[in-house]
Chains A and B, each alone.
Chain A
Amino acid sequence: MSGRNIGEPILVVEDISLSFGGVRALQNVSFDVREHEIRAIIGPNGAGKSSMLNVVNGVYHPQVGTVTFKGETRHHVDPHHAASQGVARTFQNIALFRGMTVLDNIMTGRNLKMRTNFLQQALWVGAAKREEMAHRRKVEEVIDFLEIQHIRKTPVGRLPYGLQKRVELGRALAAEPELFLLDEPMAGMNTEEKQDMCRFILDVNDQFGTTIVLIEHDMGVVMDLSDRVVVLDYGRKIADGKPDEVRSDQAVIDAYLGVAH
């Protein structure tokens, strides 16, 4: 793609197996993600894509396998630890804080960077106030970047779907992540909204060098955005490589023909 400096693997998942009762969501899945790369995960419905992201940031705990992030290998990832290591994500079904404004949602994304305790905050003097304002400035940068200035004081529950997706991206961006996990960021959007979202993702990758793992069903988007693609089917990895290699892979074609796509 562009002239970005794709580096060494920053994330390595090795031999992950995860099951829920009898359902085997993931079986012996291994792949790596290089620094500054945009890596797509594709596959038919129920293939285990979302489960994979949930393993990476510790929402699900696999029965077998390890996750190595920035050189630290773990079998059992703790979500808080993953967040403090610089992993942020968005969810397939929007997981915003519905009762809060856009501004507060994005501010919450910076919680790990805040140092004052609740007593200082209650007094709203000195350090607490300064901290709040410093982070507000950062959040306004995110708001400008995503072009959502006009809705910053709106409760997110009242926003249309496409904008909610954008706000969720903003909340994750506010954490200034090193690894960004995006679960179907464009699902349910119209063409124009998709184009905007693609632009934001490319800009994040380009301007901040953020490594991105992206789940997406729209093959056009995947081909345009990603450097490399992992294909899952029934919890197994069936292909891994450059977008055009994967597209012409027979196993992938069969998997997609098996379900109506």
Chain B
Amino acid sequence: MVLKKLMRNPISLLGLIILIGFVLVAIFAPKLAPPRDPEQPYMIPRYGYSSTPKPPVPEHPFGTTEGQYDIFYGIVWGTRTAFWVGLFVVGVSCAIGIIVGSIAGYYGGKFDEILMRIVDVFMSFPFLIAAVVITTILGRGLDKVMLAMVCFYWMGYARLVRGSILAIKEEEYILAAKACGVKDWQIIMKHVLPNSIFPVLVQASMNIGSVVITASGLSFLGVGAPQGYADWGQMISFGRNWLLGTPENAFAYWYTIVYPGLAIVLFVLAWNLVGDAFRDVLDPKMQS
């Protein structure tokens, strides 16, 4: 039923198709790009050590980038990385945000005061610098980047949830449930959360794209995935020295930037379109 509604709008249908495409690529990665070393499928195979990228040939359909890493392989396995990073960071920070935000919003008073001051403290750190510091302390690695991002992403959700819970709390159906003897936690689960959480889920699905961009940015800065790890951001950072091509041909190395860039852009676009469609689907007024 939800799908049917998604189908009705051609734009959201497009988003859904792109997203399904990415899901398929992620699932069938071992078939599309069989790893050389099955123990370490996320390490992009190298075909030489020359730094100059080589254009697409049948064995390397997207060419090879600086250091002769196979671009096609990197894109395919990078899809898994993107889903993993996006879903983990958004999932975990959303969960933390929902818990903190609902306690602050529903119980109010001292709880609210304390939790919101903690949020303010986290908010006051400049994210990029904090992320770089954290990864410097903990060491380079995708897991550390994700941890750093969760640390600085949950507050947004906490504020959003708190705000909408404060609004929902004033609704008379909450009082009605209370008057009927419904227990506090059941009121939260059945009335408060469904009515305040759906806007948050819409927001979250849209954030998955931007999380992947930020993670790519950190990889680009060299604090993310280890060298040679299948990650779109790293693919782009490989290509950055070749952006300008050669004096004769400015676009000589286009494939080093276009393929990973396209992957990121489409991924972000798909999540945004799907998030938009979510909004309509989750509105009870659009139902039946």
A and B bind? no
